[in-house]
Structure 1
C-alpha cells in the first residue's frame, strides 16, 4: 500500500481534481463573519487549502475554527476540499495541490517510511475514530453480538463484503490489522470495497451491497438505524491497547513547514483556540456539530457525541504517549521527531 505515494500520475490526478473541483466542494472561512477586532485587511489575508480525507466527529476542531471565525482571526482564507480517504488527501499535499491534509498518523508514518518528506503538526482526534458495523442479520447468522469476544467478532467478518473509504486509508489499515490478528487474510478471505465518503457507505450498507463497513462516527452510529450493529467501537475506546492513540492529524510537506512558518503557525493558532472552546463549551461544540452532521436521529447523535467528546483534541499538541501507541498499531518504529513537528503547537497562542 505504501508504494501508492510514489505514483506521480496519481498525484497529478489529485492536483487537477483539487484545481477543478475544490471550490465547489469546499467551505471557506470567508463564509464566517469577520471579527471586527482582528485588524485583518484584504491584502494580508493568506489562502490555505486543507484536503480532508475524513468527515464527521474527527474534524471537530476544524468545524469549530470555521464556525467561531478562528481562522479569520488569524488572517486566513481556508478552502476545505473533501477527498475519499486520508491516503488521497496526503497525495494531494505531496503533489502540491493542498497545503495541509487530515491524515491518520499511522498513514503519515507509512509515507515517511516510503521516502516522503512530510510531518504531522497537530492533533485533531485522540482515539481511533473508526468503527466497524455489520448487518444485524449477518451477525445473528454468525452468532455474534457487540459483546462477543474479539476472536469471535473478527472471525464473523470472514467471507463478507466490507466497505472501506479507499485503499491505503486509515479504514483500510484498521480492518486489515484486525483481520490479520486472528489469521484472516484480508486479500483472500474478505472482499474490501472502496466506497469513499459517508453517504456512499450508508447507501451501500442499506442496499446490502456490503454486509459490513469501516468508517468514523457518527456514520457508523447512523447505520444502527439501517439494521446494523457496531461490532467494534474503537471511538469509544473499548479496544484497550489503542485507547488514547493519536489518530487523526494535520500533515504537511516538511519543506513547506520550513519555508512558510507564518502560515502554519496561524493555522495551528486557530486550532488551539478551537481546542480551548471545545474544552470549555461542551454544549456549544455540540450545537456546531449539528450543522455538519445531517440526517441523524437526535438520540443517536447525542449518544455518539458523548462517546466521541473525550477524543476531540483540546490542544493541537501531539504527545509521545499517543504517538507510541501508533508504533504498535502500525508496526512502524520511527523516531518521534522524524514524524512529529510540535513547534507550531508549542508556540500556539
Structure 2
C-alpha cells in the first residue's frame, strides 16, 4: 500500500511538471540595434518597460549603435536581428546590390524629429528670416539634413546660396558647436532643443516635422532572410510595438515620461514630459506600425530633392506591410 501511495505521488508530480512546462511560453531572444537613444523613440521604451515584449514571449537585447552606418553594419553582419533606423538606409543598401535586402516592417515615427533653434529670441518668426544667416545643419546624406533642406526650399530658400550652410560638424558635436557660438540657427533633436531653450542658449522657433509632412523617419527593419525564417517572432515583435503605440496615444505625456525615465536618467522628468508632449502633439509618434505607400513616396521625394536618391525603389520592394496589417486587424 505504501509503495502504491508513493508511486501515486511520483506520478502526480510528473503530471504537474508536464502541465507547468506546457503552460510556459517559449522565449525567443531578439537583438535590436537602435540608431541613437532618443525620447523620439518613446513607444519602444514603453514596450520594454510595460512588458509588452515579455507578453509575446520575447526577450529583447537593446543596443544603441550611434549612427545609421553603424546600425546597418550591425544588422547586415548579424550583430543584430532588428534595426531601428531611418528608412533611407534600406534604399542605400538596396542600391549597392544587396543580396539580402533590409525590409521595413514596422514604423515607429512618422515625422522628422528636429526643430529649428535660433540663437536670439525671434518674435513672429518667418522662414525668410534665415536669409543671409549662418545655419548649422545636419550631416549631409542623413534624413535630418535632407528634410532640413527640403523645408527650406519649400519656403523659397536656396540652402547653398541664400545662407551660409555649415555641414562639416559631426552629429554628436553639433549642440556643442552651437553653444560655443557657431551659427545663428541650428537644427536640433530633442531633448537638446528644449534644454537649450531652458538654459537660454537658444529658442525653438519652428518644427521641421510639422513642415515636411509624414515620412517613415524611424522604422524597424530586418533582413529579408530573417523575416522568412522568423516570421512568427517578427509578428510578435510588431504586436508588442503596436500595443506600445496605442498605450502612448491613450496616456498623457507625463504618464509616458514616468514609464520611459529609466532610459534617460540624466534628464529631469518634467523635461521628458515636455519633449513627449511636443512630439505627440505634432503627430511624430506613429499610432500604428504600417508604413504606407504615400509616406514612402514622400521619403523618396525628399531624397531626390536633396540629390541623394540612388534609384527609384518601389514601396513593395523594401516594405512589408502584411505583418503590421495583420497585427492591427487581430
Structure 2 length normalisation: TM-score?
0.76
Shift of 1:71: 1.0
User: Is 1:103 aligned with 2:76?
Assistant: no
Shift of 1:123: 0.8
Residues 257 and 272 in structure 2, CA contact (< 8 A), matched pair in contact too: no
Q: Which residue number in structure 2 is paired with residue 214 of structure 1? A: 187
How many residue pairs match? The answer is 292
Q: Which residue number in structure 1 is paired with residue 224 of structure 2? A: 254
Shift of 1:92: 1.6
Shift of 1:213: 4.5
Q: Which residue number in structure 2 is paired with residue 284 of structure 1? A: 255
Query: CA 1:229–1:337 in structure 2 vs 1: closer, same or farther (change >3 Å)?
Result: same
1:169-180 paired onto structure 2 within 5 Å: 169-175=142-148, 177=150
Residues 124 and 313 in structure 1, CA contact (< 8 A), matched pair in contact too: yes
Q: Which ranges of structure 1 fall in alignment gaps of 5 or more residues?
A: 1-35
User: Is 1:63 aligned with 2:40?
Assistant: no
Query: Deviation per CA, 1:135-159, whole angstroms, max 9, x where unpaired?
Result: 33xxx7xxxx37443343264235x
Query: CA 1:298–1:58 in structure 2 vs 1: closer, same or farther (change >3 Å)?
Result: closer
Q: Which residue number in structure 2 is paired with residue 243 of structure 1? A: 213
For residues 264 and 338 of structure 1, the distance between their equivalents in structure 2, rounded to whole angstroms, comes to: 18
Q: Which residue number in structure 2 is paired with residue 320 of structure 1? A: 293
Work out which of the residue numbers 120, 125, 136 in structure 1 matches 2:104: 120
User: Is 1:82 aligned with 2:64?
Assistant: yes
For residues 295 and 163 of structure 1, the distance between their equivalents in structure 2, rounded to whole angstroms, comes to: 26
Work out which of the residue numbers 146, 153, 173 in structure 1 matches 2:130: 153
For residues 165 and 255 of structure 2, the distance between their equivalents in structure 1, rounded to whole angstroms, comes to: 45
Query: CA 1:78–1:163 in structure 2 vs 1: closer, same or farther (change >3 Å)?
Result: farther
Residues 53 and 83 in structure 1, CA contact (< 8 A), matched pair in contact too: yes
User: Is 1:345 aligned with 2:324?
Assistant: yes
Q: Which residue number in structure 1 is paired with residue 202 of structure 2? A: 228
Q: Which residue number in structure 2 is paired with residue 30 of structure 1? A: none
For residues 59 and 135 of structure 1, the distance between their equivalents in structure 2, rounded to whole angstroms, comes to: 27
Residues 132 and 230 in structure 1, CA contact (< 8 A), matched pair in contact too: yes
Greater gyration radius? 2
User: Is 1:275 aligned with 2:245?
Assistant: yes
For residues 201 and 294 of structure 1, the distance between their equivalents in structure 2, rounded to whole angstroms, comes to: 22
Query: CA 1:54–1:130 in structure 2 vs 1: closer, same or farther (change >3 Å)?
Result: farther
Work out which of the residue numbers 275, 278, 284 in structure 2 matches 1:304: 275
For residues 228 and 39 of structure 1, the distance between their equivalents in structure 2, rounded to whole angstroms, comes to: 56
Taking only aligned residues, the RMSD between alpha carbons, in angstroms, comes to 3.1
Residues 107 and 170 in structure 1, CA contact (< 8 A), matched pair in contact too: no
